[in-house]
Structure formats: C-alpha cells, structure tokens
Chains A and B, each alone.
Chain A
Amino acid sequence: MTLPFILFFVFAALAVLGALLLIAAREPIHSALSLVLVMISLAVLYLLLGAEFTAAVQIIVYAGAIMVLFVFVIMLLNAGVEERTNWSKLAKYAGLPLALFLLLELGHAMSQWSPRAYGTGTGMAGGLTGNAAFSTVDLSKQLFQKYLFPFEATSILILIAILGALVLAKRDE
C-alpha cells in the first residue's frame, strides 16, 4: 500500500459518502454542503492523478464559486425542510431501469480497466511524487494555441448567458 493509494481510497469513499448524503439529507443546506464535499474529494482525486491545475480549478470554480452561490440562494430564500413524497411513476418505471443499466455499464467499464492502459506517469504512481504528466504550461499551450477557437467560443457563450440573466432579471422594472 503506497500513500497515493490510501489517499485514493479515503477520498473516493468520501466522494461516495457525500453523494449519498446529498440525496439523503432533508435540509437543503446539508445537501449543498454534501455536494461541496463531493467536489473537494474529486479535486483530491485529480491531484492524485497529477492534474494539479484541474484540481485547483475544480475547487475554485465549483466549490468556491458555484456552490457558494447555491448556499447563498438557500440562505436568502430560507428554504425549509424538504417534504418527502412517494416515488413518482416516472421514477419507478423509467428511472430504476435506467439506473440499473448505468450501474451495469459502469461495472463493465471497470472490469475492462487496468492501470497499464493509462501509460506510465499518468497513473496514481505519478501523483505525490511530483511527477506530473501534464503541467499547467502544457495545458495553457493546448488551450490558447491548439484549441483557441473553441475556448474563446465557450467564453462568449458564457458571456451571453450572463447577459441573458441580466436581461431576465431587469425585465420587471
């Protein structure tokens, strides 16, 4: 057992635990916090894979910005405890088979998986030893040279979404 593997199991378990709590919690703010737990655990898993930049951005964007907004909205609306209903028909007849199918797919994919498929250095052996396979410099070169157009197009798309939100919010006045 090496340290990266122990850390992997700890944080993978935390991610799953957070996901379960997210569904099980009845208080909206507890659900939101469980989601934060999932995101931070995922960031640690990225870190173990040597993707430092992705890990940091995962925390900054998801845990630090989006989820803060969620918590904010829940606080402002002072949302109460959720009410439990019986399972809806849609969940019973469409949701359950789909969930089972997804589980089967995941099981199949995992049985095919082997560490060697990912080449050397990118696996968990690369984490913690500082042997990052993909540095921030590489990433920025890909983003700003090879994939410049899609990158800029995405940012304009996000800008349009922000402007749309502004227009919708201002409509009443």
Chain B
Amino acid sequence: MEFVTNHPVLVVSLVKIVVLMVVLMTVLAYLSWFERKIIAHIQSRWGPYYVGAHGLLQPLADGVKFLFKEDLTPPASDKFIFVLAPFLALTLSMTTLALIPFGPTVSIFGHPTQLVVANVDIGLLFLFAITSIGVYGVALAGWSSNSKYSLLGGLRSSAQMISYEVSLTLSVVGVLLVANTLNFNHLVEGQGGYYWHLIPRWNIGPQIIGFLCYFTAAIAETNRAPFDLPEGEQELVGGFHTEYSSFKFAMFFMAEYANMVTVSCLATILFLGGWLSPFPDRWTLLQYLPAASLIGLGLYLAYDTAMHMRGIARIQLAVVTLLALGLGALCLVPAAMPVAQGPFWFIVKVVLLLFFYVWTRSTLPRMRYDQLMNFGWKVLLPVSLANLVVTSFLVLLKEMHG
C-alpha cells in the first residue's frame, strides 16, 4: 500500500489505461461494423442487418463465432512463435494509442488531468519506435506457419511496411521542422490560432504535400486497400494469416484496425490540429455542439425506434437511443462541458479519416506488387524528400529574416 501511495502516477495511469482499453475494444469491434456498413452502402447493399437493429450486434456475434471456432495450429509450425506473433501484433498496435492525447489538460473532479495515458516528451519518436517493431508480428506469423502462402505473404507485407515506413517518417519531418517539438501536446498547441480570425492555422495548410504523402504511406503501412497486397486472395489465399484461425485470427484483425486508428490519430495530431476546434473561439454557441449532435442523434434514433423497429430490435435500439441521449445530457453539465470539447473534435476528425480509409477501400482496385514498390520508392519517397528540402529552406529563410 505504501508503494502505491508513493507512486500516485501508477494509480492515475492504471485508471486511464482501463478507460482507454474499454473504449478501444468497443471501437475496434464496431469499426468492423462501420466498415462493412459503409462499403455496403457504397455498393448499394444493406450490409449487416439481421443481428440486432441495423446489425448493431454483428460485432458481438462475430466475436462469439471467433471464440468458438476450432483453434488450429499447423503440425510443422514453430509453436512458440506461432502463438507469439498475434500477441506481438495486437499488443504493439494497441500500445501506441497510449501516447495519443485526446484532449488538452482538463479538470476532472477538480484535478487537472491530461487526456493521455503517457505524455512522453519525445512522443512522436516513441510512437515510431513502437510501430517499427510492429513488423515482427507480420513477419513471424508468416514464417512460423510453415506454409508457402503465409511465408510469401509475410515477406511481402514486411517488405511493404519497411519500404513505406521511410516515406511515412520523412513526410512527418516537415511538420517537426515547423513545430520544433516532438511532444504531441506541444505539436497540437502549436497549431492554435487563425488566419484572418477565421481559418485555423493547422499544419495541413503549409504541409499539404506532407499530409498527402503521410496518408498514402499510412494506408500502405497498415496494409490496407489499395495496397493490401499481403492479402491478395488470388495469389496468396489469406496472406500472412492464412494458417491462423479462431481468436488468433481475430487478434490480427483487431491489430489491423488498431493500426488504422493509430495512424488516423497521428494524422489528426500532426496535420489537423488534434483536439482544436476548426471554428474561432468567439463563436461561443459552438460549445453546445457536442451535446447538440449527440442529442440530435438520440432524437433521430428515437424516431427510428418508434417508427421502423419491431420486437427485440426495438428494445436494442431503444438502449442505444438512451445511451446517445444520456451522453448528450452529460455534455450539457457545466462541469463536463469543457471536458467534452477536445475529445469531441478529436473524434470527429479521426472518424472522418477512418471514413476516408474505408472509402478508398471500396473505390480503388488493388495495385500490382511491382507498381506498389515503384510507387513507394520512385514517387512517394522523392516527393516527401522534396517537401522536406523545401520546408527546411523556408524555415531557414524565415529564421534569417526574423
């Protein structure tokens, strides 16, 4: 007990970690619903519809299915590494989210609290350090399965991840030159202020090329369409996770989604002003926006529940409605209002980026492997290098002329 009282940081961190984990697990589960729904609507289908109202219980059903499937291990595989690989992939991809600040320092029950698990001074470098070991999960999964499809898939995707990591890192350096810091909180705070009192001074303005390079490289880095070569079904069956079944497969699945979330969060922090509002502070009415949007959603759902739902689905949707209304009401409490602002804008931006991710997947065809490598090394890398050179030149000019 004395040990704990001597280290209050332990308790606070533990609470934050638990909250983050619970939220993250839900988000990861519902991201699959989000993705399937959007792709379905883009392709004029309904998507998940039968399990729960609007298919809202589909992730739960999928999870149960994963748990009850037989957990196969290929006989000639390296057992230890075969089990280690999915753990590595999931743990590393979820650890990165501990570094992401979801809002400024706010007061919760009178205590000033940072809305981040670990505010590391060299946050960005630390994040890159963790993602750079993420390759092991994929490479080891491919190798340990002792199957040629898995091995080829693993090799392909680790080659792809290593190639695009170069452009990913270089495209971020431009922002660092402008911001002069590696700390996420300072990176966001540096983007405060407005041009002509209206347009926010986010890094996406001066660093638009950097942003485009970053997001392209990020899609490749997370092995998503149109760069999802490792999973090219026609050539490689399922890629590096061909031999994985049951919950180990689900872990790779969750790791992929967690990586998507991390990459979108990073884009939000670096280029889109993090938790900052896109509108000037003098529009004070906007502080009711989080509450208003949640209550609006709740009212729409209430209408939907009353008009379109029957039986069990009606009860389920009613629960969701109450949740939305309750959260909206909570955002109206004076003590909670300032707390809700930062995370609200952060989440809006991240969801927009995730939507973009899914949109690309449902629109663009998969690239061929040589096209992928050519694009990465001969287009993306020179462009991000040029962006870096021009940015550093401009920063130098600005420093010399005051």
Contact = CB atoms under 8 A, between A and B. Distances in A.
Given A68-B158, A75-B143, A56 B136 contact: no
B155 interface: yes
B117 interface: no
Interface string A23-35: 0000101100100
Given A36-B136, A72-B155, A72-B158, A27 B78 contact: yes
B162 interface: yes
A56 B126 contact: yes
Contacts of A19: none
Contact of A29 (B7, B133, B143): B143
A59 B120 contact: no
The binding surface of chain B is classed by DSSP as: helix
B377 interface: no
B154 interface: yes
Nearest to B84: A33
B6 to A, nearest CB: 8
A132 interface: yes
B151 A57 contact: no
A136 B186 CA distance: 15
A7 B318 CA distance: 49
A29 B81 contact: yes
Contact of B135 (A33, A57, A64): A64
B129 A75 contact: no
Nearest to A65: B132
Given A52-B120, A52-B121, A68 B129 contact: no
B140 interface: yes
Contact of A68 (B10, B121, B136): B136
B132 A60 contact: yes
B129 A56 contact: yes
Contacts of A27: 78
- Of B133, B139, B142, most buried by chain A (CB within 10 Å of CB) is B133
Interface in B136-193: 136, 139-140, 142-143, 151, 154-155, 158-159, 162, 182
Given A68-B158, A75-B154, A132 B139 contact: no
Given A63-B133, A68-B136, A75-B142, A135 B121 contact: yes
- Of B81, B120, B126, most buried by chain A (CB within 10 Å of CB) is B126
B151 A75 contact: yes
A60 B139 contact: no
Interface in A23-73: 27, 29-30, 33, 36, 40, 43, 52-53, 55-57, 59-60, 63-65, 68, 71-72
Contacts of B154: 75
B121 A136 contact: yes
Contacts of B162: 65, 68
Given A3-B7, A75-B142, A64 B129 contact: yes
A62 B34 CA distance: 38
B122 interface: yes
17 contacts: A3-B7, A29-B78, A33-B81, A40-B133, A52-B122, A53-B125, A60-B128, A63-B133, A64-B133, A71-B136, A71-B140, A71-B143, A72-B139, A72-B159, A75-B142, A132-B121, A136-B121
Top 9 nearest A-B pairs by Cβ distance?
A64-B132, A59-B129, A56-B125, A56-B129, A75-B143, A52-B122, A60-B129, A60-B132, A68-B135
Interface of A: 1-3, 27, 29-30, 33, 36, 40, 43, 52-53, 55-57, 59-60, 63-65, 68, 71-72, 75-76, 130, 132, 135-136
